[in-house]
Structures are given as C-alpha cells and as structure tokens.
Amino acid sequence: MFEEYSEFIQNCPTPYHFAEYARTQLQKAGFTEMKESEEWESVPKKGFSIRNERSLIAWNDEGHDRAIIQASHNDSPCFILKPNFDECVDGYRRARCSNYGGLLMYTWFDRNLRLAGRVVYKTPEGLKFKLFDSKVGIATIPCLAIHLDSSFKFSPNSLSPEDHFIPIYGTESDPPLKEYVASQLSLNADDIVTLDLRFVDSEPPQLTNDILNSQRLDNMQNTFFILKAFLETSPQSGTTNILAVFDNEEIGSSTRCGAMSAFIDDLLKRIAKNDDIRRMKANSHIISFDSTHGTNPNFPDVLESYHLIHIGKGITLERDPDYQTSSDMKNEFAMRQAAQEIGENIQTACCKNNTGGGTTIGPMSETLTGILTVDAGAPVIGMHSIREHGSVKDIESGFKLAVELYSNYEKYMYPF
C-alpha cells in the first residue's frame, strides 16, 4: 500500500487538489456530483458534493434507517502566500507568507519547498480558476550558520515567525513569483486576480524499514484510507454510507468548509427528505479519523506511561474527559468488536493531566449533528513537523477497519 499512498500524497498537495483527486475517483466509481447551489429534484443513490473546491461529502444510499459517517480533514500546517507576497531584499527574491496552523517551524529550514494551490484569473467570459502545482521544490528557507550566532541553536524561543521563515525562491535576476506561476499556467500575470498558494514539502514519502517518513501524515494518511474504504464498500440495507472530508481543522474548523459547518446536516436533510431525519440521526454514527500522537523514544516522558502509543501497532482510540476528542462508549465498543472480528489491534490514547493532545473534528461534528461520535486515527511521531513518521501497517490496518465499519457496523451495535 506504500506505493498507492505515495501516489496519493503527491497528487494532493493542498485541499484543492484533494477535492479534484476525490472527484475523479468518485466519478470513475459511478458517483454523480451534485451542486449545493442547485435544486436536487432527485437525489442519486451514489453521489457527492464539493464545497468551495476544498471540502467534500459523498454518500452511498441504501436506506435512511441510519447513516455510517467516516470523517477526516485534508489540511495540514503550511506557509500560505500573503496577498502582497513578492519582495526583493539584498539581492534575493522572497515570498512573504502567513503561518497556517500549528507549524513546528524550525523543521522547515533548508527544505525544498513546492508551491501549490488555486489561481483565479479573468477572461473575456468572466472569472475562471486553475489548480497550480510546481511539482518540484522552487523555494527554501535557509537557516543561520552556527558560526554567525553560536547562541542561536535553533531554539524555538529565538526564532521570529515573521522574520526568520520567509521562503527564498531566487535572486534579483530571476522573474517574480507571480510571473513564474502565470507562465506555468499559460496565463498573463496581469490576468491573475487572486490566488491561494501554499508551500509544502516537495520530497515524496520514504520508507526506513517499517517507518514511513512523509509530509502531511496528519491527516492525509487517515483521509487516504477512508476514501479508499468508501469507494470499495457497499452499505447494508437501510443504511447510507457517508464520507466527509473537511478543510480548516488545523485552524479550529470554524469555517464554511470546516467541521463546524452544517455540511453533514445539510446533506442528511436533502437525502432523507420525508423520512424521519431525527430518527435517522439518533441511529447514526460518526467515526472521526485524525492522527494521534505516537511515542517518541527520544522523549519518552511526554506521554502518559500507561497509554503509550506505538506506530505499527494499529489504530488508536482517543479518550479525553475534557472532550477535546469524542469517545462514546457505544461507538468505542463497536470499534473494538470490529477490530477483533478482522484481527486488527486497537490502541487507546489518554493524555497526561499536565499536557494536551490537541482537538479534532469529532466534538464539533457531534455537537452540530447530535450524532454519536468516536475519535480514532493512525499514530504519528513528530506531529506538525514538515516530515512526520508513521507506519504503512497502520494505514493498512485503518483501511481494513474502515471497510468493516462501512460494511457491517450495525452488527456491532448493542442497545446499552
């Protein structure tokens, strides 16, 4: 599965690219795209809708007794170009950026950075957009030589997010970045109205024995396997299988494309129509997949010693009494039973009282929909580094579990 995941991550450098990738895969599988802005006179049994070309919801409808919803997010910390980004300083061309999400910033030094996103341009017929992807590294953020400041030592407290992390993409003799982007898209630079471009790591995933080294494992590893599982399964009678992939989790989800939106509820109202949507929601279940913190052997004391999570040992269930993650007993029981049925291991994460593990989309989706939710995910080491570390074994395990949940979830539910 490494090759398949590697191809996926290279094809999806941004949420825009993921939406287009998923659109292609869904259409190949016979799903019909439905526009939110249009009247749905009839709802196809197999369909999908994309919001703002960044978030996606797809369904496979075999009845409205319940919905099995597997959800994730497709954004990761990165550097996004500011509106006025181009500058030339001391003979170097630089691209000024805003920080997106909780960047582990010092890990971005001296990397080959790829630029990707969406460009809006004007034509005689009106505004249009194109996806942009440089494919290769076109910029870097150089570190400071130790000889020039021996006290610097890359201490996070010594670094300025505003001054020390500006990508350099050439010298003053090179064309401005906007002209480069326009030339790659066969456009005139003056026709570009606006753009949403971000720098990401250009290096493909690599294997170090059983360790997977990759950009954006959080959260593309989980998004990869639930999309794959959705495409390869059929719902039980009376059930609608749903795939929901949101943007903007890394900045709190409070956007139209985030998990705090009414995207799931809006869909349920359209597909259930005259059926009792309240009953459907009461019988439904959300499994929110997001990456969890794996144990770093070089920093063994930061995780709760009785809840150490190991990469390569299976999907992790999140337990948090403060509800930064969702953990419903019925869904947790069903997850464990499903894993046992297919011979896969389940780990359990619980943070120390003096540390936090971050939040995710589970509590937000549960609050907005009223649907029982559980948070789970494949573990990573070095979360929010430009290169995170996980295991293909966990991606494979997550895929098998997601397939079982879509195919047989109801048999694991008990009325307690």
Per the domain annotation, does 210 fall within a domain?
A: no
Distances (CA, A) of 186 to 95, 119, 192: 21, 12, 11
Work out the pLDDT band at 152, boundaries 50, 70, 90: low
Domain boundary among 201, 231, 253: 201
Model pLDDT for residues 206-229, shown as the tens digit of each residue: 999 999 999 999 999 999 999 999
Model pLDDT for residues 58-86, shown as the tens digit of each residue: 999 999 999 999 999 999 999 999 999 99
For residue 155, what is the domain's CATH number? Answer: 2.30.250.10
For 289, the token pair is: 């997949």
Taking each helix axis from N to C end, the angle separating 392-408 and 329-342, rounded to the nearest 10 degrees, works out to 110
Q: Which residues on adjacent β-strands are paired with residue 168?
A: 94, 140
Question: pLDDT exceeding 90 applies to what percent of the chain?
Answer: 82
Query: Is the domain of 197 the same as that of 341?
Result: no
For residue 373, what is the domain's CATH number? Answer: 3.40.630.10
Rounded distance, CA 308 to CA 301, Å? Answer: 10
Query: Is the domain of 112 the same as that of 10?
Result: no
Please say if the pLDDT value at position 327 is more than 90: no
Model pLDDT for residues 39-53, shown as the tens digit of each residue: 999 999 999 999 999
Total-model pTM = 0.95
DSSP 8-state secondary structure symbol assigned to residue 352: -
Per the domain annotation, does 206 fall within a domain?
A: no
Query: Is the domain of 402 the same as that of 254?
Result: yes
- Alpha carbon 165 to its chain centroid, in Å, reads 23
Work out the pLDDT band at 306, boundaries 50, 70, 90: confident
Q: Comparing C-alpha atoms, which of 75, 310, 100 is closest to residue 215?
A: 75
Domain extent, residue 270, equals: 1-76+215-411
DSSP string, 192-228: EEEEEEEEEE-SPPEEETTEEEETTHHHHHHHHHHHH
Query: Is the domain of 140 the same as that of 69?
Result: no
Domain boundary among 144, 173, 201: 201
Per the domain annotation, does 208 fall within a domain?
A: no
Model pLDDT for residues 19-28, shown as the tens digit of each residue: 999 999 999 9
Query: Is the domain of 66 the same as that of 12?
Result: yes
Per the domain annotation, does 170 fall within a domain?
A: yes
Query: Is the domain of 32 the same as that of 63?
Result: yes
How many distinct structural domains can be found in the chain? 2
Please say if the pLDDT value at position 263 is more than 80: yes
Query: Do residues 161 and 105 make contact, with C-beta atoms less than 8 angstroms apart?
Result: yes
Work out the pLDDT band at 360, boundaries 50, 70, 90: confident
Query: Is the domain of 162 the same as that of 50?
Result: no
Query: Is the domain of 63 the same as that of 177?
Result: no
